[in-house]
């Protein structure tokens, strides 16, 4: 790790990155805040390494820390490497960010203020505007806002977009890091772990532009991701409507492509 973070920032963003420096720059430029927001960038063994000096020159919202991994280890291990660093730093809040996605103005300020005013909530996501790889709007993904609805519907699919996660750093002491055994669905398992211990909610506004990427893990590793999701449901299973429905609903998804599913979503949104 090349530099230490500024103590005046209460927020650090964990950003795992691999092999797309131009999109990374756009993601960093999308952070426009009224409060300081630091970023820990974990480069997961990219062939062309990001340059910290160059990136810091374009990132004005706070301090940028760059951690370079020698080889590609996968998103779950890269994120956990980042969390192991962050857990030793004095930040009150940790946020997630993906280099494929763009933040709307004051995204982190809004989540920060919400958790400051609702201390019983330890994990906060948000809605997101879904766009294609060219930035064209597709639809708004609206997750349930309240804890009791999230708890039920988590058995159907994750009720959080990973790139919107914003949580109190104290949860790491209780639930640990991303479960690496749940490959391609580690964020789903991580949210489930937090939900078992703390109150969770979603901010009822689209705070990011979420890119539907045909080359992303949700598309290229679709079958493995759904299988991991089913395992997570079984790990948290109880005999009730939502866990049973979640299993029944997810089994056919093993055989449905991400492209077809997104086409169905767009069609339903139009109607």
Residue-level length of the chain? 271
Helix (H) or strand (E) holding 175: helix 171-175
Do the beta carbons of residue 138 and residue 164 sit within 8 Å? no
Contacting residues for 271 by C-beta, under 8 A, at least 6 apart: none
* Block residue for tokens 């994750």: 158
Crossing angle for the helix pair 222-235 and 241-253, nearest 10 degrees? Answer: 160
Please write the tens of the pLDDT for every residue from 198-250.
999 999 999 999 998 765 544 446 688 899 899 999 999 999 999 999 999 99
Please write the tens of the pLDDT for every residue from 146-173.
999 999 999 999 999 999 999 999 999 9
What percentage of the chain's residues is helix, strand, coil (to nearest 5)?
Answer: 40, 20, 40
């Amino acid at each position: 790790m090349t530099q230490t973070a500024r103590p005046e920032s209460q927020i650090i963003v964990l950003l795992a990155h691999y092999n797309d420096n131009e999109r990374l720059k756009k993601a960093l430029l999308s952070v426009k805040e009224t409060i300081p927001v630091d970023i820990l960038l974990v480069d997961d063994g990219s062939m062309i390494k990001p340059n910290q000096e160059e990136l810091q020159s374009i990132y004005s919202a706070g301090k940028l820390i760059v951690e370079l991994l020698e080889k590609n280890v996968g998103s779950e291990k890269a994120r956990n490497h980042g969390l192991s660093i962050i857990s030793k730093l004095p930040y009150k809040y940790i946020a997630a960010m993906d280099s494929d996605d763009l933040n709307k103005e004051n995204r982190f300020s809004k989540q920060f203020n919400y958790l400051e005013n609702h201390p019983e909530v330890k994990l906060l996501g948000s809605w997101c505007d879904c766009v294609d790889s060219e930035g064209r709007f597709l639809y708004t993904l609206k997750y349930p806002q309240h804890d009791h609805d999230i708890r039920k519907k988590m058995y159907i699919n994750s009720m959080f977009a990973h790139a919107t996660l914003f949580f109190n750093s104290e949860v790491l002491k209780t639930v640990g890091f991303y479960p690496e055994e749940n490959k391609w669905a580690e964020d789903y398992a991580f949210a489930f772990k937090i939900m078992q211990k703390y109150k969770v909610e979603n901010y009822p506004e689209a705070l990011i532009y979420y890119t539907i990427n045909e080359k992303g893990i949700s598309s290229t590793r679709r079958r493995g991701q759904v299988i991991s999701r089913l395992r997570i449901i079984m790990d948290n299973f109880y005999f009730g409507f939502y866990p049973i429905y979640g299993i029944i609903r997810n089994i056919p998804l093993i055989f449905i492509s991400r492209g077809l599913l997104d086409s169905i979503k767009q069609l339903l949104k139009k109607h």
